[in-house]
A and B are shown apart, each in its own frame.
Chain A
Amino acid sequence: MTRVLRPTQPRWCVPLGPTPVNGRKRERTESESDFVDPLFTRNDGWLTMHAAVSGDPLAGQLGRPGLWRIVSGRNGQAMQRVFELPPLADFDEEGELTAEDVLAECKAWALSTAMGRIADGWQPPSRQEVESGIPSGGLSLRAETEARQISLIHEANRLALVCPILPRIPAELPPARREWLRALLTDGQDRWRMVRIGLTETSAIAEVDFSGVPPAIGECVFRTGLGALRWVVAWLVESAAFLAEPSVTCSALEVCPARG
């Protein structure tokens, strides 16, 4: 039986801790049992691959292929890189690919991009095809007083969505406020799936990179990623703009946030 896979309704929040089992064997559905791979963990329908990492969770990620991003660790968990695929649990019996085929392609995508590479010969769909999957106004977002424009990166070897959280961070922003900004952005990156964030002295950027995505799931992953990017930027932008505004004074923000 052949099946075509489509993601279910995305839920981007990362669980605060590991899914409890409590000694109870959770009954698998037919769709879940098709997506079993020792390299992926399953949580809330999402497939996640993990890799060890150290360093700054807000540096060095942007512009690299694939969905890999760094999470700094919650509830005592270690910092790690994660590659997160939205749920692929809906089947169409008239499709051409099996679940095993798609899972194999996803694994290959994750493993190659972990090394900073994409599959030889991979090209994104045409720009027209990609743009057809973007709803009208889908690259513009507004959160009350803040408006942002998402850029679609469509090149020979790259497909990505990039959006500034803070297009410009004032040079005169005090160090303590920069630490609060870092804490906010790190928390956002930890809390929500698919989106990775970069912070420099001058700006804060969010992106989702689809370079190398298997064609069978490309449209669905792209739409989920666009929704995730819009969600994360809208969630962060007002707080980030508040923290980055030098004219705002608050004695509580003059003390650096606790780390760890």
Chain B
Amino acid sequence: MLKTMGGVMEPPDVFDFEVSDVTGTHSVSATGVQRALRTREVADSLARTMALPKSVPWALRDESTSAFLDDEKPIGDQLRPGAKVTLTPKTHLG
């Protein structure tokens, strides 16, 4: 939580991680991401940063565990600093 008091502000709680698209062709460094941000918002903003289609819902997958991150939970609760994630379209096969 971001706090300010008496004219002073605490630095926001942020962290950095690496993001690549599902093909591994393009990658960006997500820096200064608020840990409290909902994962859905982070995924959508990263998709725009990487010029990916806006009409597609996007999800993040932690490469270390292959697990998809929960859209509704804060991203800081699901990733450690320096993590590598893949931005993946939410598609269902079969």
Residue ID in chain A nearest B42 by CB atoms: A147
A167 touches B6 (CB 8 A): no
Query: Could you say which of A61, A167, A168 contacts B7, with CB atoms under 8 Å apart?
Result: A61
Query: Could you say which of A62, A137, A141 contacts B4, with CB atoms under 8 Å apart?
Result: A62
Chain A nearest Cβ from B72, distance in angstroms: 10
Q: Which of A34-42, A95-103, A106-114, A201-209 contacts B (4 or more CB under 8 A)?
A: A201-209
Question: In whole angstroms, how far apart are the Cα atoms of A134 and B12 in the complex?
Answer: 22
Q: Is A63 an interface residue (CB 8 A)?
A: yes
Q: Is B1 an interface residue (CB 8 A)?
A: yes
B3 touches A162 (CB 8 A): yes
A144 touches B6 (CB 8 A): no
Q: How large is the interface on B (under 10, 10 to 19, 20 to 34, 35 or more residues)?
A: 20 to 34
What sequence of 0s and 1s flags, for each residue 1-35 of chain B, a beta carbon within 8 Å of any chain A beta carbon?
11111111101101000000000000000011110
Chain A nearest Cβ from B89, distance in angstroms: 18
What sequence of 0s and 1s flags, for each residue 59-81 of chain A, a beta carbon within 8 Å of any chain B beta carbon?
11111100000000000000000
Main secondary structure of the interface of A (DSSP, over half): strand
Point out which of A64, A141, A147, A163 has the most chain B C-beta atoms below 10 A from its C-beta.
A147
A167 touches B14 (CB 8 A): yes
Contacts of B45 in A (CB 8 A): 142, 144-147
Q: Is B79 an interface residue (CB 8 A)?
A: no
Question: In whole angstroms, how far apart are the Cα atoms of A141 and B8 in the complex?
Answer: 24
Residue ID in chain A nearest B72 by CB atoms: A137
Query: Could you say which of A151, A160, A167 contacts B32, with CB atoms under 8 Å apart?
Result: A167
Whether A164 touches B2, Cβ cut-off 8 Å, given contacts A146-B45, A148-B34, is: yes
Whether A62 touches B8, Cβ cut-off 8 Å, given contacts A147-B44, A148-B34, A167-B32, is: yes
Contacts of A162 in B (CB 8 A): 2-4, 9
Whether A140 touches B38, Cβ cut-off 8 Å, given contacts A167-B14, A168-B32, is: yes
Chain A nearest Cβ from B42, distance in angstroms: 6
Contacts of B7 in A (CB 8 A): 59-64
Contacts of B74 in A (CB 8 A): 149
Contacts of A198 in B (CB 8 A): 4, 9
Contacts of A137 in B (CB 8 A): 38
Q: Which 6 A-B pairs have the closest CB atoms?
A: A168-B32, A63-B4, A62-B4, A63-B5, A167-B12, A147-B45
What 19 additional pairs, Cβ within 8 angstroms, besides A63-B6, A164-B12, A168-B31? A59-B7, A62-B4, A62-B7, A63-B5, A64-B6, A140-B38, A142-B45, A145-B49, A147-B37, A147-B41, A149-B74, A151-B3, A158-B5, A163-B2, A168-B11, A198-B4, A198-B9, A205-B2, A207-B4
Using a CB–CB cutoff of 8 Å, the interface residues on chain A facing chain B are 59-64, 137, 140-142, 144-149, 151, 153, 158, 160, 162-164, 166-168, 198, 200, 202-203, 205, 207
